[in-house]
Amino acid sequence: MQYISTRGGMQPLPYCETLLEGLAPDGGLAVPETMPTVDGETLERWRALTYPQLATEVLGLFATDIPRADLARMTAAAYEPFPEAVVPLRAIDDDLTLVGLSEGPTLAFKDMAMQFLGQVVEYALERKGSVLNILGATSGDTGSAAEHALRGKDRISVFMLSPKGRMSAFQRAQMFSLDDENIHNIVVDGVFDDCQNLVKKLAGDLDFKRAQNLGAVNSINLARITAQVVYYFWAWLRATDVGGWTEVSFTVPSGNFGNILSGFFAKQMGLPIRRLVLAANENNVLDEFFRTGVYRPRSAAQTLATSSPSMDISKASNLERFIFELVGRDASRVVSAWKDLDDKGHFDFTADLSRFIEEFGIVSGTSTHADRLATIEAVYDASGDIIDPHTADGVKVAREYVEPGVPMLVLETAKPQKFAETIREAIGVELEYPSELRAMLDAPQRTSEMADDEHELRAFIEANALR
Question: Is the entire prediction scored with pTM above 0.85?
Answer: yes
**SS (HEC) of 420-451:** HHHHHHHHCCCCCCCHHHHHHHHCCCCCEEEC
Phi–psi pair at 330, nearest 5 degrees: -90, 100
Asked if 275 and 269 touch (Cβ cutoff 8 Å), the reply is no
Asked if 209 and 456 touch (Cβ cutoff 8 Å), the reply is no
As a whole number of angstroms, the distance between CA 214 and CA 209 comes to 5
The domains of the chain are located at 89-106+229-427
Asked if 213 and 21 touch (Cβ cutoff 8 Å), the reply is no
- Tell me how many helices (H) and strands (E) the chain has: 20, 15
Residue-by-residue pLDDT tens, the chain, 467 positions: 999 999 999 999 999 999 887 788 898 999 999 999 999 999 999 999 999 999 999 999 999 999 999 999 999 999 999 998 899 999 999 999 999 999 998 899 999 999 999 999 999 999 989 999 999 898 777 888 889 999 999 899 999 999 998 888 888 999 999 999 999 999 999 998 899 899 989 988 989 999 999 987 777 889 999 999 999 999 999 999 887 789 999 999 999 999 999 999 999 999 999 999 999 999 999 999 999 999 999 998 899 999 998 899 989 989 999 999 999 999 999 999 999 999 999 999 999 999 999 999 999 999 999 999 999 999 999 999 999 999 999 999 999 999 999 999 999 999 999 999 999 999 999 998 888 888 888 999 999 999 999 999 999 999 999 98
Please report, for residues 172, 435, 438, the alpha-carbon distance to residue 441 in angstroms, rounded to integers and kept in the order given: 9, 10, 5
Run of H or E including 134: strand 132-137
Active site residues: 110
Q: What's the half-sphere exposure (Cβ side, CA atoms, 13 Å) at 418? A: 28
CATH class name, domain 89-106+229-427 = alpha beta
Contacting residues for 156 by C-beta, under 8 A, at least 6 apart: 121, 122, 125, 131, 132, 133, 134, 150, 182, 466
